[in-house]
Structure 1
């Protein structure tokens, strides 16, 4: 927490963690109930629905690529048969006259007592003794194999390109949905979410989903089609060997399922700890100066080490357990390979299969087990991706703020700025009262100052004006129009706000001042800067108004950042101003200058000023004194001092009795 963070909401969950707890204690706690893998996977697939045309093309190209790849081993088997037949025919020429037919060679071998060789030759149809290797036929087959593999490559390349396009389009939509969702969730959602945890979902988890879908989509399609195509070829070559090869499939499925079931909870825990670690890192880096000043480096390092260790342990278990799948299935595949080779060799010896068919079958056997192993090995990647997808879906399913009315009311063309609280009640937590039955009116052009102890509900009051939170009962009106009857954009376009916590984005000083007015000219920017005493220090910078600031405003001091936000509000020219300790970061001399600028800025506008330094609001038209969500006093400065009540005590504690002890 930075040194300027407000703690003005006792009943509400402060930013950084629910109920003020440690950072990272939000969603995604380790040990939570395991995710709905099947449901989340189905939902992830529905996200791909808009890419159905590309996915159909990916499926077709995958089928063509697999068909070409599957045809290769059979064609190479034919080439092996041509070579083997040629070698055998030359050897037989030493025993038989050249030109003898296959049947004559078989009969002669049986007569010579070489029955095993005769059985093998009987499985070589078209063999002619003495012909040797038919190199012309062999060349044609090899050219055909080359063409088939080139076609498989081209189809695979096109499939990969279309897959990448479909996946990136899907992730683009998902990021857009998350961005749009973040604009629709209420402010209370951000109060309860550590920023690092939220950023982890928006960045790391979406990136992990993209990687998972990219790597598994085309590979899964290719693997399934390969299994189907290879299985068909295996049954075509030898039904017996195909049945032998299939014996190990159920065993592979059982082993893969058992391992995947144990690894899934580990992936859930891994990504939960990733979010917690990111939350801690973001918190420590943001408050690095305070961590150093208060000597909390060791505690911060200890927390980092603990969460980093938990992440290491969960990631190790997830990767190790899921990593067992591939070697386990590889072992089963090797057993299958051994059985197929033995049975195939016996069938070649018996003449019921050719050597080329056995060679092709062994290749198919490898091709058959390899995609099964790949599908199983994708389980860890798929589990990790689905775990991340569910975290993103949790964000997308978060409760949204109440929608704007379908037929919104219209504010007057020129808003006067009369703000009325009519019997308003509000609670952050249902069981903890905060604001109860509050009624107050700010007339057009009035400056309404709100004072009170920390936690009195001052900031909550102005947050309700802007509809950052919705009232539980009663209503707030602007020029007689219920703020809930107009759109939030229309309401907030009439409000300018300067907070105690300054916010600048990466851009030039001129761009930061013009943040709320897209059409602002450079002259208007300079005019606002002069009026708020920004111009005096901007001109001392080497690049003047073109000086580039980062999101921390590192090129300017804290007080100068405050002045920039005041200039931003000045340029926006709103009907209503909300100043929440807007001069807290400026020095006394600058405060006097800013007060003059504020007086000019507030002229003709309704202003709500939250202040702890009572010297800044002595000229307010109405001062509201709040305690525990209620207005206990209201009036002018002089009236309230004369009443000798809560305001007078606050005033004396700051001025008349500054040296006296405070109860």
Structure 2
């Protein structure tokens, strides 16, 4: 795990290495100063030698300034190194997530991935800064101060040898019991973020159903769970401070008692040396306190680091072959005994033994009930998922033989709930082709029946779209996403119920425009409305993950029971509506 994280330091290695150098210099000066102070007391103050006092006092002042400078430089490089490390880590996490398949994302959930890229990375950043600074400074101070104490008075050294193991055991127990609770807290944070995300995404539904109070109750319940577990973890961690204070006061009392005896009774210790012992005691115990604080942060960060590395270690289950194909000859599609399962389980098939051939340029309609496998069928074409059995071929080759970017660039898919991004209408449409001219954008918008409503906006194609496209209607959003897909000039266009929010007249105009403007593109239209697909070259009827029938509108109306039932129910509903 550590090796995986350190690989993200990158160009900030210099700052990471210079920080311990500055810190080591600062520590050396801090350890020397009590000795100089002891000499000033013993040889200057007690003997009344003003020259010694001025000389040693001036030296202490200069050393203090130099220590301050080194400390400032160490703090600066530590901040740069940790911030740069976090920047690289977030970048690599985001890059890794971009390579994830849908199943990889489903495994973590989007809310959890957001938590890992924000809160968890920040925790790891803070821990890294403490490691390269505090956990370098504190052990050095501890070791050098103990060496100085043992040099001044080996007898008083035994005080530390008794107190320090007790302190170390106490800190180890704190870490042991607090870590599982912090791990639990971050899992609940994922749940909390998921509640917030769902609420904000579905805020219109929440308000239309007057469910604000119910949503508040759900949020409060999860928030209370975070509070309860985090409070318990912090209570355990809070034992750290009393333990440190107990150690400090114990050492001070024992030093005062035994140090006074060594001065008065044995004359083996001077006043200046005892004062320096107090200084070293504070340095030793403060270093231990800083180490304990660092350990607490590292304890929290350890949980975050495990979660971050879990994402970095996750391998996408959709990968290119060693020598992938980089061009698609045509838009023909073949399904050969295809089986597919979202759970990757042959006993839980979403699509079973599908066999199908679609000629390049053909217009195919797909209809079927909810859960019949319509979307599962078409999502295998751009390889959003992989089959667990059989083959899906595009242009005569298995989709797994193509470079993923090439395949998806030539298979444009418009979902029912497609997303628009923050920016202008032009910006959103150019997702299909960054180099598209204004004329090309206007042309595809006209085919998708989006140009008329765009012209009604004051800023037309420069109109700003809010996050998620919430300032346009559902039908307008669908028409914009269709235009965006057309701008890619794909060999295969898939419309997955993507005209459900537009009226039948607009739907018919879109289909006529597609037939007229892109006759060589294989077009697959999924719809719940028969009048949206009845003029297709062929229609596929799906039922329970299987292809129930294939034919023209007239053929299916004559011999397919499911299609007949759907047609008559819609005709009946249409007739009642007309009356």
TM bucket, shorter chain = over 0.9
Choose which of 85, 90, 94 in structure 2 pairs with 1:175: 90
1:13-24 pair list within 5 angstroms: none
My pick for the range that moved more, 194-203 or 504-513, is 194-203
Provide the C-alpha distance between the structure 1 equivalents of 2:210 and 2:509, rounded to a whole number of angstroms. 37
Corresponding residue of 2:34:
73
In structure 1, the residue matched to 2:422 is 506
Q: Deviations over 1:306-361 (max 9, x none)?
A: 11111001111111210211221211211111111222222222432221111111
Q: Which runs of 5+ in 1 are unaligned?
A: 1-39, 87-132
Cα separation, 1, equivalents of 2:5 and 2:156: 39
Residue 221, structure 1, aligned to residue 182, structure 2: no
- The reply to whether residue 372 of structure 1 matches residue 333 of structure 2 is no
Q: Secondary structure at the match of 1:655?
A: helix
C-alpha contact (below 8 Å) 1:196/1:283 kept by paired residues: no
- Structure 2: distance between partners of 1:241 and 1:303: 59
CA contact (8 A) 2:44 2:52 kept: no
User: How far did residue 176 of structure 1 move?
Assistant: 2.2
Determine the C-alpha separation between the residues in 2 that align with 1:402 and 1:592.
36
Residue 123 of structure 1: aligned partner: none
For residues 475-521 of structure 1, the C-alpha deviation after alignment (integer angstroms, 9 at most, x for no partner) is 11122112111111111111112211021111111111111201112
Is the contact made by 1:577 and 1:602 (CA closer than 8 Å) also made in structure 2?
no
Q: Does 1:238 align with 2:238?
A: no
SS at match of 2:540: strand
Match status 1:348 vs 2:263? yes
| Distance across 2 between alignment mates of 1:596 and 1:409 | 33
Q: Which residue of the partner structure matches residue 118 of structure 2?
A: 203
1:427 equivalent among 320, 341, 345: 341
* Contact kept in structure 1, 2:104 and 2:317, CA below 8 Å: no
Matched, 1:610 2:526: yes
**Aligned pair partner of 1:359 in 275, 278, 295:** 275
RMSD: 2.0
Counterpart of 1:300 (choices 187, 191, 215) is 215
Alignment of structure 1 residues 453-468 onto 2, 5 Å: 453-468=369-384
Alignment of structure 1 residues 601-640 onto 2, 5 Å: 601-640=517-556
Moved more, 582-591 or 205-214: 582-591
In 2: Cα distance, 1:395 partner to 1:502 partner: 26
Q: Distance in 1 between matches of 2:156 and 2:10?
A: 40
SS at match of 1:401: coil
CA drift of 1:42 comes to: 6.9
Separation in 1, partners of 2:470, 2:21: 55
Q: Tell me the secondary structure at the aligned position of residue 424 of structure 1.
A: strand
Instruction: Say if 1:73 and 1:364, in contact at 8 Å, map to a contact too.
Output: yes
Q: How does 1:132-151 map to 2 (within 5 A)?
A: 133-151=48-66
Taking the TM superposition and a 5 Å limit, the aligned residue runs for 1:7-86 are: 40=1, 44=5, 53-86=14-47
Deviation at 1:44, TM superposition (A): 4.5
For residues 350 and 446 of structure 2, what CA distance do their matches in structure 1 show? 41
Matches within 5 A, 1:104-503: 133-350=48-265, 351-412=267-328, 415-429=329-343, 430=345, 431-503=347-419
CA 1:659–1:212: 2 relative to 1, 3 Å: farther
Q: Deviations over 1:556-578 (max 9, x none)?
A: 22211111111112222111100
| Matched length | 573
Q: State the distance in 2 between where 1:235 and 1:223 align.
A: 18
Aligned equivalent of 2:453, options 525, 537, 562: 537
1:555 Cα deviation after fit: 3.0
Aligned partners of 1:281 and 1:194: how far apart in 2? 13
CA distance in 1 between counterparts of 2:96 and 2:539 reads 38
Quote the Cα distance in structure 1 between the aligned partners of 2:439 and 2:178.
63
Instruction: Note the 1:519-598 alignment, pairs <5 A.
Output: 519-598=435-514
Could you give the per-residue CA deviations for residues 436-467 of structure 1, whole angstroms, max 9, x where no partner exists?
A: 22111110110111111110100011110011
Q: How many angstroms does 1:622 deviate by?
A: 0.8
Distance 2:75 2:40 in 1: 31
- Mean alpha-carbon deviation: is it higher for 77-86 or for 365-374? 77-86
Contact persistence 2:424–2:463 (CA under 8 A): yes
3-state SS in 1 of match to 2:549: strand
Separation of aligned partners in 2, 1:440 and 1:42: 49
Aligned mates of 2:573, 2:63 — CA distance in 1: 95
Superposed CA deviations along residues 246-298 of structure 1, whole A, max 9, x for unmatched, are 32111111111122212111111111111111111111221122223334333
**How many Å separate the matches in 2 of 1:143 and 1:399?**
62
Which of residues 591, 594, 599 is equivalent to 2:515?
599
Asked if the contact 1:245/1:340 (under 8 Å) is kept, the reply is: no
Structure with greater Cα Rg = 1
8 Å contact from structure 1 (residues 447, 602) kept in 2: no
Matched residue SS, 1:407: coil
State the distance in 2 between where 1:600 and 1:650 align: 28
Q: Flag structure 2 segments of 5+ consecutive residues without an equivalent.
A: none
TM-score by length of 2: 0.94
Moved more, 274-283 or 401-410: 401-410
Q: Is the 8 A contact 1:267 1:318 kept in 2?
A: yes
| TM-score between both structures, scaled by the size of structure 1 | 0.83
Higher relative contact order (CA 8 A, sep 6+): 1
1:643-662 matched pairs, under 5 angstroms: 643-656=559-572
